[in-house]
């Protein structure tokens, strides 16, 4: 079983900002001696901040350096920063730290992790009112495809916690003497939307924390509202269906990656303000991440 992909999927569910760095950690594990501990460093770029098929009306592209320690026992710790680029508000928008345990036994793999987020006070990231999460996953390799099941709880500032579940099917293709890995996948995520309700109350409909202008459904609504609710916030619905096509190429201790994503958001939210009720438009989203990673064992051979 190639647990590289399942770890990447698992940690992608933990936080979008770790997509490139964590998609590569088991490529490093595969090329190094799996009985040894290693350190993985990464610098990645993601073209927009997308979470559960939701994003802000203003794009939020990030450059994300990260470093993680992966112990041979399965325990790991990782830290990352996200620097907002391509706007008038260039800044460090997020710090996060994560720790957990990963295992791989035959065709079965899994893990559990806890993550803490430190968002900038002016962040308009759709996830910016999230303070932390607990996430677990199990994955099984059926040869023709690898099936992953994900469950997580996200803790929000000032509202109830969100609960999410996810399913993913993926298959790995190798080329260039196994130095090239292509992993097409399809995933579906379900859950509640308290995080989205908090985001609307701080960063949309004129309530923008920073200097940008908030917009509502389809960019047609721009109003200040002190009380906003989402009718579906407490419901457990399908939120996103996503296709991805990650490419990875490794050379010595370097791993080069690029991954396009096509997101198809589901379950449009019914937004209630003090003076109106409307249903938002959810558009399909294309975004991409690219990264360069370097790993090294922590003990001499």
Length of the chain (residues): 301
Asked whether residue 130 carries a pLDDT value surpassing 80, the answer given is yes
pLDDT at 216: 38
Hunting for tokens 């920063």 — which residue is that?
81
Which element (helix H / strand E) includes 271?
strand 270-272
Which among 241, 291, 265 is positioned nearest to 46, based on CA atoms?
A: 291
| Number of domain units in the chain | 1
pLDDT mean over 12-17: 41
pLDDT at 210: 56
215 domain residue, yes or no: no
β-strand 162-170 against 146-156: which pairing, if any? antiparallel
Cβ proximity of 293 and 251 under 8 Å: no
Please indicate whether residue 230 or residue 159 has the higher confidence score (pLDDT).
230
Residue 3: pLDDT band (50, 70, 90) is very low
pLDDT at 221: 42
Q: For residue 22, what are the contacts with CB-CB under 8 A and spacing of at least 6? A: 7, 8, 10, 11, 12, 14, 68, 78
Asked whether residue 35 carries a pLDDT value surpassing 70, the answer given is no
182 domain residue, yes or no: yes
pLDDT mean over 220-238: 76
Asked whether residue 118 carries a pLDDT value surpassing 90, the answer given is yes
DSSP of 54-104: B--SS---EEEEEEEEE-TTSEEEEEEEEEE-SSTT-EEEEEEEEEEEEEE
Q: Compute CA distances 180 → 29, 58, 96, 183, 257, whole Å.
A: 15, 35, 30, 10, 10
Q: For residue 298, what are the contacts with CB-CB under 8 A and spacing of at least 6? A: 36, 37, 38, 39, 69
pLDDT at 10: 43
Is the backbone of residue 24 left (phi > 0), alpha (psi -120 to 50) or beta? alpha
268 domain residue, yes or no: no
Asked whether residue 214 carries a pLDDT value surpassing 80, the answer given is no
pLDDT at 292: 94
Q: Which two tokens stand for residue 66?
A: 């990260």
Rounded CA-CA distance 70/102 in Å is 9
267 domain residue, yes or no: no
Please indicate whether residue 20 or residue 161 has the higher confidence score (pLDDT).
161
pLDDT digits (tens, 9 = 90+) for 167-188: 999 999 999 998 999 999 999 9
Residue-wise burial string across 56-70, b where 16 or more C-beta atoms lie within 10 A, e elsewhere: bbbebbbbbebebeb
16 domain residue, yes or no: yes
State the DSSP code for 31.
H
**Residue 289, domain CATH:** 2.40.160.40
Please indicate whether residue 86 or residue 192 has the higher confidence score (pLDDT).
192
Rounded CA-CA distance 241/20 in Å is 19
pLDDT at 218: 37
Torsion, Cα 148 153 157 160, to 10 degrees, reads 130
Asked whether residue 189 carries a pLDDT value surpassing 60, the answer given is yes
Full domain range(s) for residue 65: 3-194+243-261+284-297
Rounded CA-CA distance 223/213 in Å is 10
Residue 301: pLDDT band (50, 70, 90) is very low
58 domain residue, yes or no: yes
CA atoms within 13 A on the CB side of 61: 13
Dihedral sign for Cα 197, 203, 206, 207, please. Answer: positive
125 domain residue, yes or no: yes
Rounded CA-CA distance 30/3 in Å is 9
pLDDT digits (tens, 9 = 90+) for 256-267: 999 999 999 999
Q: Which two tokens stand for residue 143?
A: 């040869």
120 domain residue, yes or no: yes
Residue 224: pLDDT band (50, 70, 90) is low
Largest CA distance in the chain: 68
């Amino acid at each position: 079983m190639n647990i590289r992909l399942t770890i990447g999927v698992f940690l992608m569910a933990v936080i979008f900002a770790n997509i490139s760095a964590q998609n590569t950690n088991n490529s490093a594990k595969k090329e190094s001696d799996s009985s040894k501990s290693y350190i993985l460093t990464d610098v990645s770029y993601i073209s927009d901040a997308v979470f559960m098929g939701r994003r802000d009306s203003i794009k939020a592209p990030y450059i994300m350096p990260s470093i993680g320690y992966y112990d041979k026992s399965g325990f790991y710790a990782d830290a990352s920063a996200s620097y907002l680029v391509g706007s008038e508000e260039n800044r460090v928008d997020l710090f996060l730290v994560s720790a957990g345990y990963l295992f791989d036994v035959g065709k079965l793999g899994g893990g559990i992790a806890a993550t803490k987020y430190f968002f900038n006070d002016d962040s308009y990231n759709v996830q910016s009112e999230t303070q932390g999460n607990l996430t677990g996953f199990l994955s099984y390799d059926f040869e023709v495809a690898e099936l992953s099941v994900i469950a997580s709880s996200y803790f929000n500032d000032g509202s109830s916690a969100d609960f999410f579940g996810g399913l993913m099917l993926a298959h790995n293709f190798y080329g260039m003497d196994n130095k090239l890995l292509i992993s097409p996948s399809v995933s579906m995520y379900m859950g509640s939307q308290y995080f989205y309700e908090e985001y609307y109350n701080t960063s949309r409909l004129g309530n923008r924390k920073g200097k940008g202008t908030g917009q509502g459904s389809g960019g047609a609504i721009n109003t200040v509202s002190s009380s906003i609710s989402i009718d579906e916030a407490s419901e457990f619905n399908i939120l996103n269906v996503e296709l991805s096509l990650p490419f990875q190429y490794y050379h010595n201790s370097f791993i080069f990656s690029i991954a396009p994503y096509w997101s198809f958001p589901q379950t449009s939210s019914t937004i209630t303000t003090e003076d109106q009720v409307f249903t938002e438009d959810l558009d399909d989203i294309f975004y991409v991440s690219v990264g360069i990673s370097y790993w090294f064992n922590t003990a001499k051979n």
